[in-house]
Structure 1
Amino acid sequence: MSYRTRGEPEPELTFSDKELFDLGLAWVTLSVAFALLLAPIHLGGVTLGSFVVMIGLSFVTVGVAFLLHELAHKVVAIEYGQIAEFRADYQMLFLAIMSALIGFLFAAPGAVYHRGRITVRENGHIALAGPVTNLLLALLFFPLLIFPGILGTVGHLGVLINLFLAAFNMIPFGPLDGKSVLRWSKPVFALAFGASGLLLVGFYSIFGFI
């Protein structure tokens, strides 16, 4: 259900130049941050070549995970009659790099901001769309684990990064998705947060980082 007035144009899935710039910047920054976390060249023991390869792999897997996460928010918001655009948070992008350097990634590079009249339930749906998309992407990447070499590595990273983003974004804190989902429905929040967290811990316990 949307709240457009008569004669008001239907919101469309379009991207401004500013939005595309912010998406690209967040994509590159998160890719470098994940590479620093998974192949910590600054701690030694990782060659420059291995680090560059990890950046490339992260660029592909983070790109799919991050971009489709944000696109899911935007699409659902538009379906509810919202005007929606992604905006990067430059301070959070800097924090992502700094946190990766010390062994933890704070992955909150920005958000899809939307405006228009909306219910708590609809806002919960918009918030939930991102983590659910990451869980589905993890499922799609999982079969690649059976392949040796680069394809198996892409599968591993694809599952790991998507499960991490799903679980991290379901934390009910600040601008993260979990806060809006919890406000809408405690049972849905518990299911989504619990499932993403358990899957991440289970996958890490069996397969490790990389």
Structure 2
Amino acid sequence: MFERITRREEADLFVAWMAIAISFTIIKIAPYGITGPVSRLDPVVMLLYFGISLITVGIGFILHEMAHKFTAIRYGYWAEFRKDNIMLMIAIVMAALVGFVFAAPGATVIYSNTGDGRIMTREQNGIISASGPVVNLLLCIPFLIMVFLGGISFDSPTYLLRVIGIFGIQINAMIAAFNLLPISILDGRKVFAWNIPVFLVLIVASFGTLLASFYLL
């Protein structure tokens, strides 16, 4: 399976992963942007936030894109993730200025490798597009388990487990909800065009999970 991930794709995934992790680290330190209140810039705390972001964003982002890739391969296509340097820069700048991450780091580009000019059907396109958000929603389950296993008190030795769990749910729900917006080239538009009931279930589940995650704090 891993041999289907090219060297260029590995590099693009790594750069996008780092950029998104930096963006989410910034909004944890400055939730309203650098013009608003900023947390004390303790290097240890900054590294802790960055480490948590690497874990939660890395798992959510990479598995989201790999779900698109391997679902497309299952249908007989070839697919590779391609980063978008401009969008990655916008994500970091917006996180710094307004405390919001506009996470559109790139896209999984799908190619026909059959040589017969076969056109992807609406159903195939919808299922391939839905696979990413579905993976993100499924990832919320192990992170929720971490929340329940973690301590509630700041002094608890397992409190960090709870923090990672909450952040993991929020990140994955955010990735799913954003990508399910039925606009532009986002997954939601293709899922909506394929199957409206499936689209409604996924987008309600995504935004519902995102809103519910804030009650865990």
**4+ runs of 1 displaced by more than 6 Å?**
none
TM-score norm. by structure 1 comes to 0.89
CA distance in 2, matches of 1:45, 1:105: 18
- Residue 51 in structure 1 maps to residue 60 in structure 2: no
Give the direction of change, closer, same or farther, for the CA distance of 1:12–1:124 in structure 2 (3 Å limit). farther
Q: Which residue of 1 aligns with 2:186?
A: 176
Is the contact made by 1:40 and 1:46 (CA closer than 8 Å) also made in structure 2?
no
Equivalent residue runs for 1:1-210 within 5 Å: 14-40=4-30, 42=34, 43-48=37-42, 49-101=44-96, 102-116=98-112, 117-146=119-148, 147-148=150-151, 149-204=159-214, 206-208=215-217
Q: Displacement, 1:99?
A: 1.6
Gaps of 5+ in 1: 1-10
Amino acid at match of 1:132: V
CA distance in 2, matches of 1:141, 1:132: 15
CA distance in 1, matches of 2:3, 2:106: 19
Is the contact made by 1:134 and 1:166 (CA closer than 8 Å) also made in structure 2?
yes
Gaps of 5+ in 2: 113-118, 152-158
- Coordinate RMSD, CA, aligned: 1.7
The 10-residue stretch of structure 1 (34-43 or 149-158) with the greater mean CA deviation from structure 2: 34-43
Q: Displacement, 1:44?
A: 2.3
Q: Displacement, 1:56?
A: 0.8
Is the contact made by 2:81 and 2:106 (CA closer than 8 Å) also made in structure 1?
yes
Amino acid at match of 2:89: F
User: How many matched pairs?
Assistant: 197
Is the contact made by 2:56 and 2:168 (CA closer than 8 Å) also made in structure 1?
yes
Is the contact made by 2:29 and 2:46 (CA closer than 8 Å) also made in structure 1?
yes
